Chain A
Amino acid sequence: GDSVTQMEGPVTLSEEAFLTINCTYTATGYPSLFWYVQYPGEGLQLLLKATKADDKGSNKGFEATYRKETTSFHLEKGSVQVSDSAVYFCVQGAQKLVFGQGTRLTINP
């Protein structure tokens, strides 16, 4: 069945470091792809999305490109901030979502 595998955490970085969180998926078709973020004590928020191959989603300095050939949707940010500390989920689907296991990111000042 459909699945999402993302980089295991936790990940700890210093402020202003470069961030990559890897994500790959398996699907029978060409699903929409998302990154959702969960800040401490809160629900999930959509961070960015891509609905077809080669689309690049971006928001708040984060980017991810839908790569059909490698079935990947890696999350990147050039310079992280303490406020980016959260759990990040790679997700596929449209309404019935399939989640990766989540990656906890901690940014130290």
Chain B
Amino acid sequence: NAGVTQTPKFQVLKTGQSMTLQCAQDMNHEYMSWYRQDPGMGLRLIHYSVGAGITDQGEVPNGYNVSRSTTEDFPLRLLSAAPSQTSVYFCASSYSNLGPSSYEQYFGPGTRLTVT
């Protein structure tokens, strides 16, 4: 299993540009989510999905869109990039049942985004 994969690893955007960060998992996890990591702030939840066709907002959703057309993929779209979106972005996935095994989330390696 490849686990959770993210592309690209690095990206530089100009203010106002749009782009999509890709996330895929091959563990058949129902739950997927996007976090951003900023210095001194830990990770904050952007959007999440409990299954194909179902998404919801997290703590910091503004400026980002998501969709979930398949179980495997959960892309994050930046509509019009701003310098405040400079961050490291992590995708995560887990099972969605209520047993203890659902509590471990698997993280991708991250995408480092710089907006100038």
Contacts and interface: CB of A to CB of B under 8 A. Distances in A.
Interface residues of B, number: 26
B108 A46 contact: no
Interface in A16-55: 32, 34, 36, 42-46, 49, 51
A95 B31 contact: yes
A99 B42 contact: yes
A51 B42 contact: no
The secondary-structure label for the interface of chain A is: loop
A89 interface: yes
B90 A94 contact: no
A49 B104 contact: yes
Interface in B44-76: 44-45, 48, 50, 58
Contact of A43 (B33, B40, B90, B103): B90
A89 B107 CA distance: 13
A43 B110 contact: yes
Contacts of B33: 95-96
A75 to B, nearest CB: 15
Interface of B: 4, 31, 33, 35, 40-45, 48, 50, 58, 90, 92, 94, 96, 100, 102-105, 107-110
